[in-house]
Structure 1
């Protein structure tokens, strides 16, 4: 029998059932956590840069972390929603290669799972305000984490089991149309994991190639062949993704975030941030505070 280790775990942030109206109209939403929706009445719309999906009863929807999307409701909509963080042993997200919104047909068990998760986790809605200026602050993340710590073992395991079941509904070959990791050389997989876990360190291509015992040029070409990107561009994107997470979930200053994500100074950090996201760190922070959820 082949033993398989579960490399991905999830931490509950919010779960609730809400009734939404025309005020639920937000553009360019991006969050460091996952969102799962089940619509039980009415309809709305959700879109990213390439896809527009109708929010309607009978379907599940997932928005992976760091996925840009737009959320709208023209009239009325009943929505079960779950927000949760993902952790993985190698730092690589299940949706690292395909950050898009997805839709699957709802089963009876899915509906029961949403209802049950809310039943065993009461009071886990966005209680203070739906304004991200208020609820997306580090102090509130800590409060929700403390609620997880206070769960008894049975509730903790059941909560994580339900999240795993719901996420598994989207792990189909049709949705995850990226290269299977078994087709990627072990040395490149090791380099990817090393990058994810050591974003705060010096990550020169020369150093990565030496770790893989390969010539720098050959390593760079092989890395691009397997990931679609040159190592430097990949490292920059992962560092800025980490910076976005820190900007949303902590009160760290920009120089502190630059240091934590491996940039030698705030000026270089700002330059790369703008190159990757199309806006300065300051403008990005203002945007996510104004337009989310």
Structure 2
């Protein structure tokens, strides 16, 4: 991937807040968010369970939780933290978490602390409307970032978030993405992302790359780690997750948006990857409309 493509990390800031737990012990279970969470722990400590793995959040550290990660939160008395909720993407439709190796925990510097505080100052309108994720997640999709009158705010905000996000990057993928992207595969990622409601074949994608189907499939898997068919399925499932979490759309309508041919097939594939059926997933993690 060319450096100018990577530098175009697209950021949507959903929430920025600073919360202190003075007297209460707060627990939220089975939370799955369609955005990425970034934390700076100013004081105190807390515990998260991410996909059955226990993570202790320690004072003076930064943490990142990618979108669609199943979490249980245990906020202890004395916990004081800054955080932001963001959606990250690359212009070609590739998930940045797919391209980079990400550290979940890094030591915060004085600059990192300043950056979190500055972002909080810049966005008093993006504080949580409620501490319950089932409340604030359902209200987040009605508004978008509006910087039309404040380009300076956009530049400063995105610069801050990019600096903080960069702290978590362990390294760029060692997989041969340069070889893959030499054949204009950026446009193929973009095509997949924007045509999930239609039939997409590997033959069709290979023709767009001016390669044979076998050669294209082999290069794709070498670069991305999975084959094109698997990649398409995962993209369809991620869109389905998003719709299950943020809308009350009937399952049949979700099939139309993701092009799973039958409800039985959709349910089988969804359960294979997520351990439960789409209906159970929605009941466990749904936003309360």
Give the TM-score, by structure 2 length. 0.84
Match of 2:90 in 1: 88
Cα distance per residue 1:57-76 (max 9 Å; x no partner): 11111112223344323443
- Residues 220-235 of structure 1: pairs in structure 2 closer than 5 A: 220-235=217-232
- Indicate how the Cα distance of structure 1 residues 3 and 239 shifts in structure 2: closer, same or farther if over 3 A, else same: closer
The count of corresponding residues between Structure 1 and Structure 2 is 284
Instruction: Give the root-mean-square deviation of aligned CA atoms.
Output: 2.9
Q: 1:136 deviation in Å?
A: 1.8
Paired residue for 1:68? 70
| Residue number among 79, 85, 92 corresponding to 1:77 in the alignment | 79
Name the SS for the 2:168 alignment partner: coil
What CA distance in whole angstroms lies between the structure 2 residues aligned with 1:185 and 1:17? 41
Change (3 A) 1:181 1:3: closer
Q: How does 1:129-140 map to 2 (within 5 A)?
A: 129-137=130-138, 139-140=139-140
Give CA deviations for 1:117-152 in whole Å, capped at 9, x if unaligned.
Answer: 11121142222x333332222x54214x26x35762
What CA distance in whole angstroms lies between the structure 1 residues aligned with 2:184 and 2:150?
A: 40
Contact 2:197–2:259 (CA under 8 A) maintained in structure 1: yes
* Deviation string, structure 1 residues 98-120 (Cα, Å, up to 9, x no partner): 68761111111111111111112
Match runs of 1:200-211 below 5 Å: 200-211=197-208
Q: Please give the alpha-carbon distance, in whole angstroms, between the structure 2 residues aligned to 1:241 and 1:28.
A: 18
| TM-score under structure 1 length normalisation | 0.83
Structure 1 residue 259 corresponds to structure 2 residue 256 = yes
Aligned-residue offset at 1:271: 2.8
Contact 1:14-1:83 within 8 A present in 2 as well: yes
Aligned to 1:164: 162
Which structure 2 residue ranges, 5 or more long, are not aligned? none
Corresponding position: 1:285 with 2:256: no
Q: Is the 8 A contact 1:43 1:57 kept in 2?
A: yes
Whether the 8 Å CA contact 1:29–1:69 is kept in 2: the answer is yes
